[in-house]
Amino acid sequence: MKHQLVIVLDFGGQYNQLIARRVRECGVYCEVKPCTVPLAELQKLAPIGFIFTGGPGSVYAQGAPTVDPAIFTLGVPILGICYGCQLMAQSLGGRVTAAQEDTAREYGRTETVYHAGCRLFAGLPERGISWMSHGDYMEKVPEGFALAAHSAACPNVAIADESRGFYGVQFHPEVNHTEHGADMIRNFLYKVCHAAGDWTMEDYKNTAIARIREKVGSGKVLLALSGGVDSSVCAALLAEAIGEQLTCVFVDHGLMRLNEGDEVEAAFGKWAMHFVRVDAESRFLLKLAGHTEPEHKRKIIGEEFIRVFEEEAKKIGRVDFLAQGTIYPDVIESGAGNAAVIKSHHNVGGLPDYVDFKEIIEPLRLLFKDEVRQLGRELGLPEYLVERQPFPGPGLAIRVIGDLTKEKLDTLRLADAIYRDEIAKAGLNREINQYFAVLTNTRSVGVMGDGRTYDYTLALRAVTTSDFMTADWARIPYDVLDQVSTRIVNEVVGVNRVVYDITSKPPATIEWE
């Protein structure tokens, strides 16, 4: 099935992926394209609408990103956001200049008045908070445009040419800070572009399965299964499509959380696929012994993973396709056009010398993370796997500070399981975006019973974030932290002190190493 398409033209904005997610959340399929893509290529895609993103530059600056002016003659609706709004104004005969006084500049939360009758704001309250971020000013609005919103500082917060379906807003409707921003995007899609809302995950699943079957034919597919959300959903989709033609190699390096290896294996028991679980714990621990520097740990684990996978792949023999769990943010962030090639070489590493395959297949490359989770549910994966917490590639190796031993890993596994259990019991597991325990390399004196202890300090980390680029430490209630601490100290041998990390990102990172 060919979906209706909205194209998000990227001018370097930090929210390009977020705009695309908001569109898809409205049931409309969209793709992010660089503004440098020739207009003829965009026309071939037959979009029902364009959205111009924001950007860090000024439209009047030399070398500023621009667009082929012919795009405004296609008869396709356009929504310009921030830089995109100013670019539209400049391109159609308006004039944009640097604001000469603070009253023309706006940043952050701004009370905005929306003009009645504009389709973009249909059915919305007359006033609301919008999220501004512009230092330029539309000195002259293009002919044919009417003012559609204003604030105390700016008379042209939004402009509209209703007859052509052109709209520009100087704020960011895609961010949560803008009240009713998602409704504005929905209005553009349905009231202006006349979208049918034909983008559903069930339909994507059925279409993807059909395409995989057509592409693979009678060939064989090999997938390195890490146990994370992306690779697990990729495996489930392939298994649903081609069954025994798929072989998944799950390298169990002994650095996963409590019972995760068994959970991953159990999740795929219902499919007629070849599931190979390699018990490599002792092998990894031997390689990691004596290494304390986190980057050394990462490098050792990455190289050893490839070696183990190579050995298992050689046993399988020739395969026709190597599958990867690449998702849409990976494609966007690594550029367009040759993005898949860049990603493939990076992920595959040295495998082409050892694994004989003719092509790489990436069945999730058009999906965002939240959509990958939805697809996992459509495929019947258990919730504990679909909603799995983000987990670093090196696993617990970088959550044990200093040297690694099986005893330390087991200590951390149990403490981390208690922490996650109590967070879930408190109903906070959907509110906190990432939470985990860290076994520090610090020992301190304690008293348990009538005896003196000298055991490890365990740190708890929890953050809230929308994009994982920045994050705030989660305000977990004291009684929940108290219960977590009490259980860990009483149930986990070797830990006598629990601390909570209250540092945001930046200046800290989410992980400790």
Give dist(CA 355, CA 508) in Å, integer: 40
Query: Which residue among the candidates 30, 35, 82, 85 is catalytic per the annotation?
Result: 82
**470-486 b/e with 16+ CB inside 10 Å = b?**
ebebbebeeebbebbbe
- Omega before 507 cis (within 30°)? yes
List the end-to-end C-alpha distance of the chain, in Å, as a whole number. 45
Q: Please state whether 194 falls in left (phi above 0), alpha (psi between -120 and 50) or beta.
A: left
Report residue 188: phi and psi, to 5°. -60, -45
Question: Among this protein's residues, is 82 annotated catalytic?
Answer: yes
- DSSP conformation letters of 230-287: HHHHHHHHHHHHHGGGEEEEEEE-S-S-TTHHHHHHHHTTTS-SEEEEEE-HHHHHHH
Q: Strands 106-114, 472-473: parallel, antiparallel or unpaired by DSSP?
A: unpaired
Grouping H, G, I as helix, E, B as strand and the rest as coil, residue 171 is strand
Structure tokens, 289: 């012994």
Distance CA 336, CA 349 (A): 21
How far is the C-alpha of 354 from the C-alpha of 307, rounded, in Å?
A: 10
Stated as kind and residue range, the H or E segment containing 447 is strand 434-448
Distance CA 13, CA 33 (A): 12
- For residue 23, give the 3-state DSSP assignment: helix
Rounded to whole angstroms, the Cα distance separating 99 from 134 reads 9
Rounded distance between C-alpha atoms, residue 248 and residue 479, angstroms: 43
Q: Could you tell me if 7 and 45 are in contact, meaning their C-beta atoms sit under 8 angstroms apart?
A: yes
Segment (H or E) for 201: helix 201-216
Strand partners, 127: 113
Q: What is the DSSP string of 152-169?
A: SS-TTSEEEETTTTEEEE
172 in catalytic set: yes
What is the Cα–Cα distance from 260 to 228, expressed in whole angstroms?
10
Nearest to 75 by CA among 37, 48, 44: 48
Catalytic residue among 30, 134, 154, 174: 174
Contact 106, 54 (CB under 8 A): no
Q: How long a stretch of residues is the chain?
A: 513
Active-site hit among 172, 193, 253, 362: 172
* Residues annotated as part of the active site: 82, 172, 174
